[in-house]
Amino acid sequence: MRVEPLPSAPAATVDTGDERLLAVADYHAGIEAGLRYEGVELQSTADERRERLLSCLDRARADRLVVVGDLGHAIGDPFEEERAELATLFEALDVPVTVVKGNHDGGLADVVADLGADAEVTPGHGTRIGAVGFAHGHTWPAPDLLEADVLCVGHEHPVVRLEDSVGGARKQRAWLRGSLATEPFSDRFDRPVPDAPDVVVFPAFNDRSGGTWVNVDGQSFLAPFLPEGMTSVEAFLLDGTRLGPYQRI
């Protein structure tokens, strides 16, 4: 597997053969400003988010950071608080950055250009780096990503509900790993998908961004190709605990 979760972190190392990447999804810089607009008051944890990301980069010894969508939080133009957080983040980074545009990254390309950051923002349908594909997941991935060895997806923020023996419950972020189910993509693109890549759905890096409860009845996935687009899907906690098929948790 070219994608390996970083132990106890919502981040993964990715081996492309030429570069060692650190990949994260759903950073949601400036989320507190967005929540404030909706009437929820929370103290900003921008500094803690940045330090967690820098720590992950250091642990991974990465040559590049890849954000699998939603680096920012505003769907349209970012709030000033979000712009300031992004500016401080890019100033602290010492590796180039690839951002796959997510549904919350509407004004991100302009912010990156204004800051003169060493970063590229790819289209929302995704990009390939070597044999690994990256797509945020709010829209169908580009057809050429289906030819990758592994497809990395964000957007979903998967979480699981874990209950103890006395009825207590807690929420835990989780990874989903499986194989591409070719039929939905063959139907979508009207072309065969001969070799199904592995698929990894990333947990949200931002622990304030909510999530899809993958093992709770009545919950639905957000991506237009999930869950039908994956097969043999297993869930893993951030600490590496293997939970097995997510439907049976």
pLDDT value, residue 101: 95
The predicted pLDDT at position 162 comes to: 87
Identify the domain containing residue 15 by its residue range.
3-248
pLDDT at residue number 69: 92
**CB–CB of 70/135 below 8 Å?**
no
The encoded tokens of residue 55 equal 């720590």
What pLDDT is attached to residue 1? 56
Q: Is 127 helix (H, G, I), strand (E, B) or coil?
A: strand
pTM: 0.93
Report the domain count for the chain: 1
Q: Give the domain CATH number at 13.
A: 3.60.21
Q: Give the residue among 24, 2, 20 at the shortest CA–CA distance from 11.
A: 24
Q: Which residues of the chain have pLDDT under 70?
A: 1, 165, 167
DSSP letter (8 states) at residue 207: T
6-122-172-209 Cα dihedral, nearest 10 degrees: 140
Report the distance separating Cα 225 and Cα 75, nearest Å. 21
Q: How far is 24 from 13, CA to CA, in rounded Å?
A: 9
C-alpha span between 19 and 40 (Å, rounded): 41
